[in-house]
Structure 1
Amino acid sequence: MKAFLFGLAVSAAALAAVAQPAAGPRDQPIEARGPFGPLKGSLLGAPAPAGAPVVLIVPGSGPTDRNGNNPLGVNAATYRLLAQGLAARGIASVRIDKRGMFESSKAVADANAVTIPDYVADVHSWVGAIRRSTGVPCVWVLGHSEGGMVALAALQGREAASGICGLVLAATPGRPVGQVLRDQLRANPANAPILDQALAAITRLEGGARVDPASLHPALQPLFNEAVQGFLISAFAQDPAKLIAAAQKPVLVLQGERDLQVAVQDARLLAQANPNAQLVLLPDTNHVLKAVPTDDAAANMATYANPGQPLAPGVVDAIVRFVTAPGKARP
């Protein structure tokens, strides 16, 4: 929610050689039209040969930047690593800052005064901008976590989906977000004293009504801050299973089996709702798509603050297979 490197002696010449970065594509600035100012992002790689895929990466919840980091403690650089992995395989991608945040701060005055339909409009704006900039006929949309729900909503309707090749849903809920949040709250025994209040607040927001944060336990007030309740109401109204059932374009559901935030059950629900969707489950992979070979929650969470840790094996491979041959992308 809007609330979530030896000890060897080497010569100076050898050090200089090691310090040289590997040759490869560099980020290029790219813009799309926003409500009151530009939406800004980074294009890595170029569609060559002509017709090669271009992937738009839609961020997850909260103040998450184009690299997949946010000031609330996430520094995994998941989206930057995804872009680099795709570029190494000849696939261009665009990473974006959400409206009202970071370099897209001029797009709206208040980054909290947004809804899922607002983010959907931005996806369509980005798809148009990418098509004009690169000349590709359509854009693959990769949504991570909440971004997957936005991607699904952006695919609804023939006209709206016309510029979208298909979707990659990474760590995306398969149930309404209110249900997911309930499970997350119940999973932590420390929440017992505040659980009833939290569940009641979720139910009220699901009904379209607002909650008085002052009436809640202080620990719950950031989660149900008045400034984000409009967004929460719009997010709770989305049913990912119904959205994917209506999808008429190829969809890949990509899910880590050690994700502490979105369960494998969610991925299976998405795949069941659309028999044409492809499901890839990645062992020892968590919510930020890093490798975690243990059930230790602390080790899992440590990856959220480690930008130097690469993506888990299989993540980039699955995406490349899908966007290059969506009808043959099963592992």
Structure 2
Amino acid sequence: MLRNLAAAVLTLAAVTVTVTPAEAIPRLVPAADREIVFTADGTTAYGTLHVPKHQAGQRLRAALLLPGSGPTDRDGNQPPASSPDTLAQLADALDGDGIATLRFDKYGTGRTGLGAYRSHPEQLDYPAFVRQARAAYESLRDQPETDPHALLVVGHSEGAMTALLLGSTVRPRPVGLALLQPQAIRLLDLVALQLKAQIAEATRQGQLTPEQQHTINAAVTAAVTSLREHRPADTTDLPPAIAQLFEAFQNLNARFVESDDAVYPPDTAAGLRPGTKVLLTCGTNDAQVPCVTTNALTTALRHAHTGGPGRVTLPAVDHLMHDANHPNTLAPPVRDALHRLTRH
């Protein structure tokens, strides 16, 4: 009898269940946006931090999102003329992989405005935008939800060139870069290539004669040379729209154009930490950044011993990362390419 009773007690002990207090169960924090404020060169900049749903106390991978050229705000828009929501859509795509994001209003846009450059905008140069992006990276690094050792930088167009510069200078170094439709050659070389492609198309359509095409191409080349030699560009032989463009590159914008054009992106790749994961995309329908312009940068990244996914060609995708079936949202190949980076 005693032996049977002891066996029963042992059996009961074997099935005893420990009850976990409710407060010990991790609390799920819903996804949310909040305004972020940081300072660069005496200017207060404003941005949006998007934090995906996560367990309380969890440190998340996080990405800084950098816009393309011109007055492009935190969402990737240039209101009222253009509102593709490029950066807002990138934040949404990265949320699906559990990655927090920070996007901000750069100089001349949104709540940030010109800030300290308001009274002397002609002194605003490209390095000022890089310093602002670096301050944004540091702000993202210091957020309580982010893992400072699992940071990414995602740049679109000119923002991709800025991402390359940050990748070799910030601390801690980012674990990965997404260079989306990047400015991969010098600014004025890219402008000349774009203009000559448009001139060739106008000639093909019979709007210009071959002789006119030759004259205009020569004038574009001469204008680029003049700007690089700090001389006024002669716009006499240029169509009005192209002449206005080169005039805009001078005077108020001269310092920015000169400092942006001074950067050759393939050279910056050498400063990246070996093993840094890099995604570089180019779209076959991208007239602004043709895939051929990314060849030298792709080679430089390989020589720097960066990791994959490397260059990914996006069929039928344009500069805003849309295709014919997705004119207002990120095309599926773009999302797939991003996932290839975040999966690493």
Structure 1: runs of 5 or more not aligned: 1-23, 294-302, 326-331
Partner of 2:77: 69
Cα deviation, residue 108, structure 1: 2.7
Partner of 1:122: 132
1:15-34 superposed matches below 5 A: 25-34=31-40
Cα shift readout 1:229-250 (whole Å, capped 9, x = no counterpart): 1111011111111112332132
Secondary structure of the 2:281 match is strand
Q: Distance in 2 between matches of 1:261 and 1:178?
A: 13
| Alpha-carbon distance change, 176 to 72 in structure 1, aligned in 2, over 3 angstroms | farther
Cα deviation, residue 70, structure 1: 0.8
Q: Which piece of structure 1 moves more, 221-230 or 105-114?
A: 105-114
Q: Which piece of structure 1 moves more, 257-266 or 161-170?
A: 161-170
Judge conservation of contact 1:127–1:163 (CA < 8 Å) in 2: no
Which letter maps to 2:254? Q
Q: Which piece of structure 1 moves more, 175-184 or 64-73?
A: 64-73
Judge conservation of contact 1:262–1:287 (CA < 8 Å) in 2: yes
Q: Give % identity.
A: 28
Cα shift readout 1:34-90 (whole Å, capped 9, x = no counterpart): 222311111112484634321111110001111111147322111111111221332
Q: Which piece of structure 1 moves more, 46-55 or 76-85?
A: 46-55
1:267 pairs with 2:289 = no
Partner of 2:47: 41
Judge conservation of contact 1:43–1:95 (CA < 8 Å) in 2: yes
Cα deviation, residue 196, structure 1: 3.6
Cα deviation, residue 215, structure 1: 7.4
Question: What count of residue pairs does the alignment treat as equivalent?
Answer: 286
Question: For 1:279, which of 289, 295, 311 is the aligned residue?
Answer: 311
Secondary structure of the 1:136 match is strand
Measured on the aligned residues, the alpha-carbon RMSD in Å equals 2.6
Cα deviation, residue 114, structure 1: 2.1
Which structure is higher in strand share? Answer: 2
Cα shift readout 1:250-297 (whole Å, capped 9, x = no counterpart): 22112222111101112333221121351111112110011137xxxx
Cα deviation, residue 170, structure 1: 0.4
Q: Distance in 2 between matches of 1:273 and 1:58?
A: 22
Secondary structure of the 1:316 match is helix
Which protein is bigger by CA-based radius of gyration? 2
| Alpha-carbon distance change, 198 to 130 in structure 1, aligned in 2, over 3 angstroms | same
TM-score by length of 1: 0.77
Question: For 2:232, which of 200, 203, 211 is the aligned residue?
Answer: 211
Question: For 2:189, which of 164, 179, 187 is the aligned residue?
Answer: 179
- Report 1 or 2 for greater relative contact order, CA contacts < 8 Å, sequence distance ≥ 6: 1
